[in-house]
Structure 1
Amino acid sequence: MSTDAYLTISIFLLTICGLLKYQSRPAAVFGLTLLSLVALGLVSKTQLLSSIANPGLITLILLIICSFALEKTRLLRLIASKVIVVGYKTTLIRLFGVTTMCSALLNNTAVVATLLSPIRNNPHHFASKLLLPLSYAAILGGTLTLIGTSTNLIVNSLFIDAEGHSLGFFSFTAIGLMLVTGCGAVLAICVRFLPENEQLLDGSKGYFIDAKIVDKSELIGRSVEANGLRHLESLFLVELVREGRLITPVAPTEVLQENDRLIFSGDITKLGQLSQFSGLETFAHKNDLKDSNLTEVVVRQESILVRKTLKQVGFRALFDAAVVAIRRDGENISGKLGDVELQSGDFLVLSVGDDFKSRRNLSKNFIVLSGVETEIRLNGWKAWLSVGGFLASIALAALGVIDLLEGLVILLGLLIFSQSINVNEVMRRLPVDIWLIVASAILLSHALVNAGVVELIGGFVNQSVGKEHAYLALILVYILTWLMTELVTNNAAAALMFPIAYSLALGFGVDFLPFVMTVAFAASGSFISPYGYQTNLMVFNAGQYKLKDFVKVGLPVSIVYGLIVMIAVPIFFPF
């Protein structure tokens, strides 16, 4: 082997090791991979630029951006209001059906975020009996179309680079329908194993709100009862922090002092009641922000906030926002908010400043829950433009009338000119991580070809085994991709396994398509790990699940999912 081949294989292996070691930072690992390939001269300048501007990758980015406008309409919220009924079986069927259909065309994170609150707040069923099926339905729905999940579009980007043309819009649909039906049936049986975790009556309850008694407050020198702090609507005084000492429970006769920190628990929408007390200051007031301008977010697994306090990271300077409340489902939070060590999956309510939405570090640290975020909602003709334009672009692309990339470019222009979305919002939520991961993966594929590694693997396979072993190789590709999905992330798994699958197909001298589809479906099969897919992370805390809950329900679903893929792929995409 040449020196370039050794270098390229080393970079490939180090990338895998880096992803396993730094699971929460796949973009950083792939970024180093890209820099290494360019610095060592393993790829050309033309290949670098073509990887960054790959048509499939640009289509993926445009699709995500155009979906921002859809999230502002009433479409998903209207659908959500029709899902939950008194009967559990009927609710489960409706929830599964609606979620899979929506996830086939829309961003499945937005679908889950929209349905999360109605499910948590429903008066008929335990939320824990519905939230995990919600996440699984979103994953399965994504397998129905080319645009159903970012994984499919990432694989398509790599396919375009290798073959020069795109996969069909409905290439995934036949097998996707089998997966939805088969896994849905298994899920219907396994939901009996889901826990019945008690939820608070209101999904907004459980938030811990920190307020401070400042100088000259009318509360000083009077008891909790005399100040009327025990008669607030849906807000409860649970703790009092005085000179570093925690007082709980707080007696009605407790006399309040200057600099006391009052810790309330309850409905975040009732926060405005605290403003009626003179000299009671929340984090937002302290930072010259307004309590009325609230945004709810979930802390990502890869966030720099994880295992740190608000004080340690300098939250206000980083995000132009102050945390006014925290909720950690299934666990009580105690003490001052500024001293709470944050965890992935924590729900935060932020009081945001004017510069908040323009900060480019938001998407790396938070999942912003659309439907709670204080942004302008689209109504009237703008809503029709957003929904109609999105569906029209997809329909015309599916019918072959116009290329999806061209349709999305036109739609994005219309959305910006109509101010349905603005440039700041696009820049703030631009999926840079996905862009970097896919571009780096494409570039790595070029490097493997340039160094002769793909040809080397192909020649080795061709000499060692015959075509009759191609199916065994397909099974191996599925298992490796699935393991990487559960251990790392779905997007990274798809990006890394594609060149391996391509090399194997080349070595066996068989059609490349069965291996492509296997990588795509396997990379979407994350059902056992709460961290393999971000919808799993969102419901993990909201449903107060434990890892064993994912294993009990996800393992049977995962096995059936794998069997269907391994049986169906060679039938629909023969060697």
Structure 2
Amino acid sequence: MSIETISTVAIFILTIIGLIRFQRKPAAVLGCALLALSVLGLVTQQQLLSSMVNPGLVTLILLILCSFALEKTRLLRVIAAKVIVKSYHSTWLRLFGITAICSAFLNNTAVVATLISPIRNNPHHGASKLLLPLSYAAILGGTLTLIGTSTNLIVNSLFIDATGDGLAFFSFTILGCFLVVGCGLTLALTSRWLPNVTTNELDYKGYFIDAKVKAGSELIGRSVESNGLRHLESLFLVEVVREGRLITPVSPSEILQEADRLVFSGDITKVMQISQFSGLELFADKNGLLGTNLNEVVVKEESVLVGRTLKTSGFRALFDAAVVAISRDGAQVSGKLGEVVIKAGDFLVLAVGDDFSTRRNLTKNFILLSGVAPETRISGPKAWLATAGFIGVIALSALGLIDMLLGLLALFGALIFSGSLNTNEVIRRFPVDIWVVVTSAILMSQALVNAGVDVAIAQWVAGFTDLGHVYMALILVYLLTWILTELVTNNAAAALMFPIAYSIALGFGVDVMPFVMTVAFAASGSFISPYGYQTNLMVFNAGQYRLIDFIKVGAPVSLVYALIVIIGVPILFPF
């Protein structure tokens, strides 16, 4: 075995280990692999550059950028208004169906982000009964078309690099429909096991709001009751932090002292009541930002904030924003807001400064639920251009009348020229992580070819000519891809498993399509882990779920999903 082969295999194995060890930083791990392959000369300069501008990758990037304008229209908000009705079963069906259809053509993260708020605030049903089905519906809907999920487009990018041809727009649709129906029926049965989390006086929306009694405050020396702190609208005084100790529950007769930290829980929209008390300062208020619009975000796994406190992270300098409140798994968060250690999945309500929307690190650290990406709505001709243009390009490319890349490029230019998108927004929200992941994956595939690893795998499996062996190999590819998806991320799993699956197909001397489609579908099958798919993380805290909830509801769905894929792929894409 040559030194090139040993080096390439070593980098591949180390990349998988790195992705499992550093789950929050898949782009960083794959970026290191890219550098190693390039510096060691395991790939050529031409291969490096061609990987960066792979037609499938460019199509994926343009699709994401054009969808930003669509998010700023009323389309998703109008759809959201039609979902909630008094009947739980009718609401569930509407939510599942509308989410699946929308996710087949739109960014499923944007679809979920738009629907989270009306679901949490609806007066008829507990949010915990609807949010997990929302995430699963978005995942299943993404399997319906080529553009339904970034996973499909990543596999398409790798397929183009390997064969020169792309996958058809509706290659995934028939099997995707079986998955939506089969897993949807399973989910309808398992939804009865979802927790019914009810809000009460002590948690409301589960937000933790921290305020400090300043020197000279009129509150000092007076009781909680006499200060009127027991009669706030939709806010409840949960605890007092005094000289490092907690006082909870707080008695109405408790006398307030200077430097007391008052911890409230409740409706964040009522937070301005607190600032009306003389000498009572909110954490965000001392940063001079409380009078600005409030924005809600979810902390990503790969965020630089994870494991650090708001004070030690330099939050204001990083984002030109201050945290007004925090929510975690629906649980009460105790202590001073600035000293709370941030975890992935935490909901933060931010008061933002003028430069917040221009910061380029927002999408790397947060899932933006409100006020950031869609803060400037578009209407009239701009909205029509964004909506009709997007639908038109997708429809024409699906019918084979235009090339999707060229159509999206023309639409992107029109959106920029019309002002529907601005360059600052594009730069700030440019999907760098996806670009690095796909580029690295394509380059890794080429390095394996250069080193002859694909030939070695092909020769090893060539001795197994029985069709049963081929089918077992297909099942093994599914299982490995699914495990990587649950442990790492869907995109990284698809990227790493594609070259292996492709080489196995060549070794057996069968059509590569069954193995390609298996990788694509398996990489989207994340239903058990709240961290395997971004929409799962978004609903994890919003629905106040526990890991056991994902296992109870997601495991049957995952099993049905696997059976449909393993049985359906060889039928629809024969060996």
TM-score (norm 1): 0.96
Give 1:46's aligned residue: 46
Give 1:164's aligned residue: 164
Counterpart-to-counterpart distance in 2, 1:57 and 1:344: 28
Q: Secondary structure at the match of 2:305?
A: coil
Q: Which range is displaced more, 233-242 or 394-403?
A: 233-242
Tell me, yes or no, if structure 1 residue 445 matches structure 2 residue 472.
Answer: no
Give 1:326's aligned residue: 326
Counterpart-to-counterpart distance in 2, 1:531 and 1:564: 23
Q: CA RMSD in A?
A: 1.9
Counterpart-to-counterpart distance in 2, 1:343 and 1:572: 43
Q: Which amino acid aligns with 2:377?
A: R
Q: Which range is displaced more, 109-118 or 198-207?
A: 198-207
Q: Which amino acid aligns with 2:93?
A: I
- Superposed CA offset, 1:423-456 (max 9, x none): 2222222111111111000000111111111112
**Displacement of 1:148 after TM fit?**
0.2
Contact 1:441 1:496 in 2 (8 A): yes
**Displacement of 1:539 after TM fit?**
1.4
Q: Which range is displaced more, 459-468 or 508-517?
A: 459-468
Counterpart-to-counterpart distance in 2, 1:386 and 1:280: 46
Q: Secondary structure at the match of 1:95?
A: helix
Counterpart-to-counterpart distance in 2, 1:202 and 1:538: 23
Q: Which amino acid aligns with 2:329?
A: D
Contact 1:200 1:206 in 2 (8 A): no
Give 1:475's aligned residue: 475
1:230-241 aligned at under 5 Å gives the runs 230-241=230-241
**Displacement of 1:303 after TM fit?**
1.9
Q: Secondary structure at the match of 2:463?
A: helix
Counterpart-to-counterpart distance in 2, 1:522 and 1:516: 10
Counterpart-to-counterpart distance in 1, 2:257 and 2:382: 52
**Displacement of 1:414 after TM fit?**
2.0
Q: Which range is displaced more, 297-306 or 154-163?
A: 297-306
**Displacement of 1:201 after TM fit?**
9.1
Counterpart-to-counterpart distance in 1, 2:372 and 2:131: 18
Give 2:547's aligned residue: 547
Tell me, yes or no, if structure 1 residue 81 matches structure 2 residue 64.
Answer: no
- Superposed CA offset, 1:440-496 (max 9, x none): 000001111111111121122113444552222111111111111111111110000
Give 1:72's aligned residue: 72
Counterpart-to-counterpart distance in 1, 2:383 and 2:522: 36
Contact 2:31 2:440 in 1 (8 A): yes
Inter-CA distance 466–4: structure 2 relative to 1 (3 Å threshold): farther
Give 2:309's aligned residue: 309
Counterpart-to-counterpart distance in 2, 1:280 and 1:203: 21
Counterpart-to-counterpart distance in 2, 1:548 and 1:240: 33
**Displacement of 1:40 after TM fit?**
0.6
Q: Secondary structure at the match of 1:7?
A: helix
**Displacement of 1:22 after TM fit?**
1.4
Contact 2:183 2:557 in 1 (8 A): yes
- Superposed CA offset, 1:41-71 (max 9, x none): 0000010001111111111111112111222
**Displacement of 1:123 after TM fit?**
2.1
Give 2:110's aligned residue: 110
- Superposed CA offset, 1:246-284 (max 9, x none): 223333343433333222222111222233233332222
Tell me, yes or no, if structure 1 residue 376 matches structure 2 residue 376.
Answer: yes
Contact 1:72 1:377 in 2 (8 A): yes
Tell me, yes or no, if structure 1 residue 294 matches structure 2 residue 301.
Answer: no
Give 2:458's aligned residue: 458
Tell me, yes or no, if structure 1 residue 97 matches structure 2 residue 85.
Answer: no
Give 1:498's aligned residue: 498
Counterpart-to-counterpart distance in 1, 2:370 and 2:322: 19
Give 1:148's aligned residue: 148
Identity over aligned pairs, percent? 71
Q: Which range is displaced more, 152-161 or 265-274?
A: 265-274
Inter-CA distance 202–259: structure 2 relative to 1 (3 Å threshold): closer
Q: Secondary structure at the match of 2:348?
A: strand
Q: Secondary structure at the match of 2:517?
A: helix
- Aligned residue pair count: 575
Counterpart-to-counterpart distance in 1, 2:521 and 2:121: 33
Q: Which range is displaced more, 460-469 or 429-438?
A: 460-469
- Superposed CA offset, 1:191-246 (max 9, x none): 12222222359997321112223344343444333333333222222222233332
Contact 2:300 2:345 in 1 (8 A): yes
- Superposed CA offset, 1:345-384 (max 9, x none): 1100111122222222222221111467771222222222
